[in-house]
């Protein structure tokens, strides 16, 4: 019985591990062409995503160090979908890369770490998962082997992660020192508002803020995003952010419940700064990857406002927004990744007159940007407004007004890209870029997700039924 | 009648446009789609009047309510009263006319017609929504097509105008959103009819009314947030100008009335002096600013600010007649300004200039277009027999009923602006239509069948309202009574 439970409860983690092993065996065998390897991998990732939907037992393992629930399974499925889409999008780039299998092993190991992170029921498991998810990413960030910027990005990533991990670790040890437990369900009973605990909590939040690049802990983001290969950037800005946010929110809602008034104030401060700074910096960017980096910082500010709603609605708006954010951000990265793989161009000026030769890519990018900006009928509109609605539940209307007006600023820079694509004249617009099948499928999924998510009403109902509240 | 058809038909038309090939096919699809929609709107009017004639006194007819996001109390709730039917008829007329005047849009025709149809879908959805969130959704749908239409197909400083328009309208919707949040968290519903039955506390109203009213006011070119209007209109392609002035600005007026004033009447009453002050400034400022313009499109755009001021004035005065007048003015201004822009577009496509100084004697070579232009002008200056007279008279009469001394002063000042209107309209018309003709213009041809059809449709609307105003007052009267029940109660409470 115990063994059975082990396999069933760990099914998603075991599947990822199995894929990693399959890849290792492929690597051991004779040399195969990149394309055939990529076929196999994309198929495996697709099966992995589909398998996640099979309903099975939920429960706890290892003395409640590891826990799954319907919500956790859903969150992992979102990540599975994301990595599958990213994999298909990077087809054009990986086709000619000499270390495809290593790249996937790094990415999947990181994903595995995130799964443990999301499922953690104990601060040790939590820390383990977090480290396991971060370190392989630093190696993956270095995968544009010929670019110096890429190794610079990797270096910055590893240094800043190490710094944030040390903050987290210090916070965790203080928590342990003052509560004498690491188990999530026992910590709240020992939280007594002592200065040490508050200090520990602030350390923890700072560590988290680093990982999700909230202002003022955002400085590493833009450089790393710009230097890393687009696939890794997409992974960093979507997958790792989503995983950390899921865990962060669960921690706030379930573990640090007694400190709600403190983290509420912290969240509001962080979110206001994050939205404003993210927006102001995004205004001035010319490189599209940097631009998306800052715009994703601003998006994060909205997420924090939603979380501050500290209700079931707050959590469901977070999960809902993440789903939509996955589609929108990956659609944008998909186009940029393809263009960058074929032409090496990543600047806004290069996209002037882009519509002339690449109407399909232009529309995909435009729809993605509109969704990020929160324009109906794209799903981004609903995602963003639900976050604000959740935040408004506390009666903080000035913050909502501030955020809503900041949406107008963000609107300006998203429209600037749309303007470059459709309206600006260019004597030598970019040539026609052929879209290989895999990226095409990925874009189709993303666009369908952007357009349909809000009209398939049971998605939100389902998330709401699973969500936790304070 | 199933109101969702009003959203479904444009949606299907838009999809069909995407699947179509070549200008001829695409414009045919768009035209047929808009005709079907016009038919639907006419049918809606017919069944509505029949149902009212049979003694149905429900405030909203043909309601349909389905849950959309149940946990958030967001419903897809639609229904119509006389006011929304008037707006729907206006929209469908302008859409047909707009598609007709874009008959030979060669540049990216598929995208162009797709965006036009999408824009109209937003407007229809907005006018039939009875759920605040759905209403807001449709309000924002209508913004982006405008940005693209102006930025891609426009003329002059088009990208800047497009950006300015999009950002200002987005700022408007951000304010509206804050207002909606305030209403929602104090009533726990988005349903307009439900909220109307509740009493929102005065303090809450006083806080959120400015958000909602200013937000919608930006759409309706409320002074001092009117600055997107002149540039946006002037840079837009003809059909987009027509949609913008004829439909889009009406979203704002309708929102001010249906959402801000209807749901928060006490606050509307408390703030009415500010509303009226701003409206009066807009009327006077718009009129005098128009005097200085030399470009036909700018003339019409600035005069739109002045004319939309009447809408706001009528709403701000809070009497039954003045609100009736505001609604009639919305319809009348929509038709008139669309006709004006259509005529200007026709002139521009032939002469390649919109400068009054470079035009002249057009009546000789293009009598139809020139006549259209003159009719639009006469309607604009409020000549009896056209809709403009009916609308403005109703607004002034209604405003006069508000017996407050300062408000009467505002009414007098506003009414005096008609003199200024007459000056600029007659001057522009005289210089461009009459007088000696420029040599190079002597070979130009008159309107084609599609342009004639578009103009005739709009002129018919203007003349019907002008000659038989009881038709529209009968349509909207009972609905205004319903609104007044709520508003009047709030005023007497004070």
Nearest to B181 among A381, A400, A415 (CB): A400
Determine the residue of chain B that is closest to A460 in CA distance: B69
Residue A372 lies inside a defined structural domain of this protein: yes
Phi, psi of A375 (to 5 degrees): -105, 130
Q: Is B56 helix (H, G, I), strand (E, B) or coil?
A: coil
pLDDT value at B126 more than 90: yes
Q: Does B236 touch chain A (CB under 8 A)?
A: no
pLDDT value at A109 more than 80: yes
Report how many Cβ contacts below 8 Å link chain A to chain B: 88
Interface probe with A: pick from B71, B74, B165, B251, most Cβ of A within 10 Å? B71
d(CA A312, CA A320): 12
pLDDT at res. A369:
93
Determine the residue of chain A that is closest to B138 in CA distance: A376
Determine the residue of chain B that is closest to A385 in CA distance: B177
pLDDT value at B39 more than 90: yes
**HSE on the CB side for A169, CA within 13 Å?**
10
Distance from CA of B75 to the nearest CA of A (A): 11
| Contact call for B185 and A375, based on CB within 8 A | no
Burial class (CB in 10 A: 0-12, 13-18, 19+), B131: buried
pLDDT value at B493 more than 60: no
d(CA B484, CA B321): 10
The token pair at A249 is 């929110």
Per-residue pLDDT averaged across A28-51, rounded? Answer: 84
pLDDT value at A179 more than 70: yes
d(CA A177, CA A192): 13
Nearest to A376 among B141, B166, B208 (CB): B141
Q: Does B165 touch chain A (CB under 8 A)?
A: no
Q: Is B130 helix (H, G, I), strand (E, B) or coil?
A: coil
| Contact call for A460 and B170, based on CB within 8 A | no
**What is the residue-averaged pLDDT of chain A?**
87
**Number of domains chain B contains:** 1
- Apex A30 CA angle, A24 and A31, nearest 5: 90
Per-residue pLDDT averaged across B36-52, rounded? Answer: 91
Q: Does B211 touch chain A (CB under 8 A)?
A: yes
| Contact call for A423 and B162, based on CB within 8 A | yes
- Apex B20 CA angle, B347 and B335, nearest 5: 35
Contact indicator for A118, A242 with CB cutoff of 8 Å: no
Strand duo A66-67 + B74-80: pairing: unpaired
Collect all residues with Cβ–Cβ distance below 8 Å to A434 and sequence separation of at least 6.
Answer: A342
Determine the residue of chain A that is closest to B211 in CA distance: A401
H-run or E-run covering A340: helix A312-343
**What is the residue-averaged pLDDT of chain B?**
89
Determine the residue of chain A that is closest to B151 in CA distance: A423
H-run or E-run covering B69: strand B61-69
Per-residue pLDDT averaged across B47-60, rounded? Answer: 85
Nearest to B151 among A370, A377, A423 (CB): A423
Interface probe with B: pick from A359, A422, A466, A467, most Cβ of B within 10 Å? A422
Give strand pairing partners of B131.
Answer: B191
Interface probe with A: pick from B75, B111, B119, B144, most Cβ of A within 10 Å? B144
What are B138-149's pLDDT values in tens digits?
999 988 899 999
What region does A5 belong to: left with phi over 0, alpha with psi -120 to 50, or beta? alpha
DSSP letter for A388, please: H
Contact indicator for A329, A368 with CB cutoff of 8 Å: yes
Contacts of residue B69 in chain A, CB cutoff 8 Å? 382, 386, 457, 460-461
pLDDT at res. A470:
60
DSSP letter for B258, please: I
Contacts of residue B73 in chain A, CB cutoff 8 Å? none
| Contact call for A422 and B148, based on CB within 8 A | yes
The residue count of chain A comes to 470
Strand duo A60-61 + B61-69: pairing: unpaired
Q: Does B18 touch chain A (CB under 8 A)?
A: no
Determine the structural domain holding residue A404 and report its residue range. 256-470
pLDDT at res. B381:
85
Q: Give the position of tokens 């907005």.
A: B126
Residue A20 lies inside a defined structural domain of this protein: no
What are A234-284's pLDDT values in tens digits?
898 889 899 999 999 888 888 888 888 888 888 889 999 999 998 998 888
d(CA B350, CA A416): 33
pLDDT at res. A141:
87
The A-side interface with B (CB below 8 A) comprises 313, 316, 370, 375-377, 381-382, 385-386, 388-389, 392-393, 395, 397, 400-401, 404-405, 407-408, 411-412, 415, 418-419, 422-424, 457, 460-461, 464
The residue count of chain B comes to 494
Contact indicator for A469, B79 with CB cutoff of 8 Å: no
Residue A3 lies inside a defined structural domain of this protein: no
Per-residue pLDDT averaged across B258-285, rounded? Answer: 91
pLDDT value at B494 more than 70: no
Q: What share of chain A is helix, strand, coil (3-state, %, to 5)?
A: 75, 0, 20
What are A70-97's pLDDT values in tens digits?
888 888 999 999 999 999 988 888 888 8
The token pair at B488 is 């009047």
d(CA B33, CA B52): 28
pLDDT at res. B103:
87
Distance from CA of A390 to the nearest CA of B (A): 9
Residue A73 lies inside a defined structural domain of this protein: no
Per-residue pLDDT averaged across B380-387, rounded? Answer: 87
| Contact call for A389 and B143, based on CB within 8 A | no
Q: Does B171 touch chain A (CB under 8 A)?
A: yes
Least confident span in A129-133, B351-355, B390-394: B351-355
d(CA A248, CA A211): 10
Residue A397 lies inside a defined structural domain of this protein: yes
pLDDT value at B66 more than 70: yes
Q: pTM above 0.80?
A: yes
pLDDT value at B13 more than 90: yes
CA distances (Å), origin A30, targets A26, A101, A295, A469, B152: 8, 13, 44, 52, 54
pLDDT value at A1 more than 60: no
Burial class (CB in 10 A: 0-12, 13-18, 19+), B355: exposed
Contacts of residue B68 in chain A, CB cutoff 8 Å? 457
Q: Does B182 touch chain A (CB under 8 A)?
A: yes
Nearest to B167 among A392, A400, A411 (CB): A411
Residue A353 lies inside a defined structural domain of this protein: yes
First to last CA, chain A: 34
Q: Does B396 touch chain A (CB under 8 A)?
A: no
Determine the residue of chain B that is closest to A422 in CA distance: B152
Per-residue pLDDT averaged across B126-145, rounded? Answer: 91
Contact indicator for A171, A207 with CB cutoff of 8 Å: yes
- Apex A317 CA angle, A313 and A322, nearest 5: 155
Burial class (CB in 10 A: 0-12, 13-18, 19+), B233: buried
Q: Give the position of tokens 């969240």.
A: A267
| Contact call for A316 and B171, based on CB within 8 A | no
Which of A63-66's residues contact partners 24+ apart within 8 Å by CB, and which partners?
A64/A121, A64/A122, A64/A183, A64/A184, A64/A185, A65/A120, A65/A121, A65/A122, A65/A124, A65/A125, A66/A9, A66/A10, A66/A116, A66/A119, A66/A120, A66/A121, A66/A125
**Number of domains chain A contains:** 1
Q: Does B67 touch chain A (CB under 8 A)?
A: yes
Per-residue pLDDT averaged across B147-163, rounded? Answer: 89
H-run or E-run covering A250: helix A241-250
Q: Give the position of tokens 């040539």.
A: A431
Contact indicator for A204, A192 with CB cutoff of 8 Å: no
| Contact call for B71 and A316, based on CB within 8 A | yes
Q: Does B158 touch chain A (CB under 8 A)?
A: yes
Identify the band that residue B329 occupies on the pLDDT scale cut at 50, 70 and 90: very high
Determine the structural domain holding residue B26 and report its residue range. 5-493
Q: Does B148 touch chain A (CB under 8 A)?
A: yes
Residue A338 lies inside a defined structural domain of this protein: yes
Nearest to B181 among A377, A397, A422 (CB): A397
pLDDT value at A379 more than 70: yes
Contacts of residue A392 in chain B, CB cutoff 8 Å? 181, 184-185
Identify the band that residue B200 occupies on the pLDDT scale cut at 50, 70 and 90: confident
């Amino acid at each position: 019985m115990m063994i059975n439970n082990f396999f069933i409860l760990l099914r998603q983690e075991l599947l990822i591990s199995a894929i990693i092993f399959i890849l290792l065996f492929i690597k051991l065998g004779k040399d195969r062409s990149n394309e055939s390897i990529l076929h196999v991998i994309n198929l495996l990732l697709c099966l992995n995503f589909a398998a996640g939907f099979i309903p099975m037992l939920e429960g706890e393992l290892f003395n409640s160090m590891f826990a799954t629930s319907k919500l956790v399974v859903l969150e992992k499925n979102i990540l599975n979908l994301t990595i599958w889409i990213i994999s298909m999008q990077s087809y054009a780039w990986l086709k000619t890369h000499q270390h495809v299998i290593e790249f996937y092993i790094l990415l999947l190991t990181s994903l595995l770490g995130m799964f443990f992170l999301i499922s953690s029921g104990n601060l040790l498991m939590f820390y383990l998962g977090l480290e396991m998810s971060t370190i392989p990413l630093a190696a993956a960030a270095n995968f544009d082997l010929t670019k110096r910027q890429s190794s610079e990005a990797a270096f910055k990533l590893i240094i800043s992660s190490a710094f944030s991990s040390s903050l987290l670790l210090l916070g965790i040890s203080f928590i342990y020192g003052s509560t004498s437990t690491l188990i999530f369900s026992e910590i709240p009973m020992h939280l007594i508002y002592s200065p040490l605990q508050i200090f520990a909590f602030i350390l923890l939040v700072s560590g988290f803020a680093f990982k999700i690049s909230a202002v003022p802990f955002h400085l590493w983001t833009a450089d790393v995003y710009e230097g890393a290969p687009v696939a890794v950037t997409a992974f960093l800005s979507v997958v790792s952010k989503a995983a950390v946010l899921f865990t962060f929110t669960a921690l706030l809602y379930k573990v640090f419940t007694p400190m709600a008034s403190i983290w509420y104030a912290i969240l509001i401060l962080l979110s206001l700064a994050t939205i404003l700074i993210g927006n102001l910096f995004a205004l001035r960017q010319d490189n599209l990857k940097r631009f998306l980096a800052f715009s994703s910082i601003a998006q994060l500010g909205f997420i924090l406002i939603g979380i501050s709603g500290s209700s079931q609605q707050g959590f469901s708006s977070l999960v809902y927004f993440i789903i939509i954010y996955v589609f929108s951000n990956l659609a944008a990265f998909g186009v940029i990744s393809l263009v960058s793989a074929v032409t090496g161009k990543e600047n806004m000026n290069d996209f002037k007159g882009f519509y002339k030769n690449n109407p399909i890519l232009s529309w995909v990018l435009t729809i993605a940007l509109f969704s990020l900006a929160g324009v109906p009928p794209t799903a981004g509109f609903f995602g963003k407004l639900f976050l604000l609605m959740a935040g408004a539940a506390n009666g903080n209307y000035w913050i909502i007004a501030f955020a809503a007006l900041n949406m107008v600023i963000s609107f300006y820079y998203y429209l600037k890209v749309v303007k470059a694509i459709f309206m600006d004249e260019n004597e030598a617009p970019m040539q026609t870029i052929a879209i290989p099948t895999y990226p095409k499928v990925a874009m189709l999924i993303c666009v369908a997700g952007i357009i349909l998510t809000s009209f398939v009403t049971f998605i939100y109902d389902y998330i709401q039924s699973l969500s936790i509240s304070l | 009648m199933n109101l969702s058809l009003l959203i479904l038909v444009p949606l299907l038309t838009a999809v069909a446009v995407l699947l179509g090939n070549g200008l001829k096919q695409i414009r045919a699809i768009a035209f047929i789609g808009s005709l079907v929609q016009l038919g639907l709107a006419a049918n809606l009017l017919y069944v509505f009047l029949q149902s009212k004639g049979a003694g149905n006194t429900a405030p909203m007819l043909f309601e349909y309510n389905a849950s959309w996001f149940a946990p958030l109390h967001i419903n897809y709730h639609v229904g119509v009263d006389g006011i929304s039917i008037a707006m729907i008829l206006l929209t469908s007329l302008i859409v047909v006319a707009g598609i007709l005047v874009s008959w030979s849009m060669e540049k990216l025709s598929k995208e162009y017609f797709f965006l036009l149809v999408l824009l109209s879908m937003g407007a229809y959805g907005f006018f039939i929504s009875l759920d605040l969130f759905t209403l807001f959704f449709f309000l924002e749908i209508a913004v982006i097509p405008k940005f693209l239409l102006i930025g891609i197909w426009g003329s002059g400083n088009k990208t800047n105008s497009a950006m300015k328009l999009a950002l200002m309208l987005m700022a408007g919707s951000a304010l509206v959103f804050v207002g909606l949040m305030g209403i929602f968290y104090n009533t726990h519903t988005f349903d307009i009819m439900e909220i109307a039955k509740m009493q929102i506390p005065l303090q809450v109203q006083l806080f959120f009314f400015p958000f909602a009213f200013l937000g919608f006011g930006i759409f309706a070119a409320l002074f001092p947030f009117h600055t997107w209007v002149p540039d946006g209109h002037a840079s837009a392609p003809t059909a987009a100008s027509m949609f913008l002035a004829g439909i889009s600005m009406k979203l704002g007026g309708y929102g001010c009335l249906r959402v801000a004033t209807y749901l928060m009447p006490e606050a509307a009453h408390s703030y009415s002096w500010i509303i009226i002050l701003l409206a009066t400034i807009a009327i006077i400022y718009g009129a005098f600013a128009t005097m200085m313009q030399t470009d036909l499109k700018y003339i019409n755009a600035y005069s739109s600010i002045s004319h939309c001021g009447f809408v706001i004035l009528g709403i701000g005065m809070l009497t039954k007649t003045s609100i009736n007048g505001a609604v009639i003015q919305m319809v009348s201004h929509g038709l008139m300004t669309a006709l004006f822009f259509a005529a200007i577009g026709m002139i521009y496509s032939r002469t390649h200039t919109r400068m009054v100084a470079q035009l002249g004697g057009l009546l000789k070579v293009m009598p139809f277009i020139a006549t259209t232009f003159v009719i639009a002008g006469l309607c604009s200056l409020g000549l009896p027999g056209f809709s403009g007279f009916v609308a403005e008279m109703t607004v002034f009469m209604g405003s006069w009923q508000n017996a407050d001394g300062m408000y009467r002063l505002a009414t007098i000042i506003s009414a005096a602006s008609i003199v200024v209107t007459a000056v600029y309209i007659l001057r522009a018309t005289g210089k461009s239509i009459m007088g000696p003709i420029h040599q190079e213009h002597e070979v130009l041809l008159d309107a084609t069948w599609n342009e004639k059809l578009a103009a005739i449709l709009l002129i018919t609307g203007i003349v019907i309202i002008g000659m038989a105003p009881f038709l529209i007052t009968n349509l909207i009267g009972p609905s205004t009574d319903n609104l007044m029940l709520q508003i009047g109660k709030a005023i007497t409470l004070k």
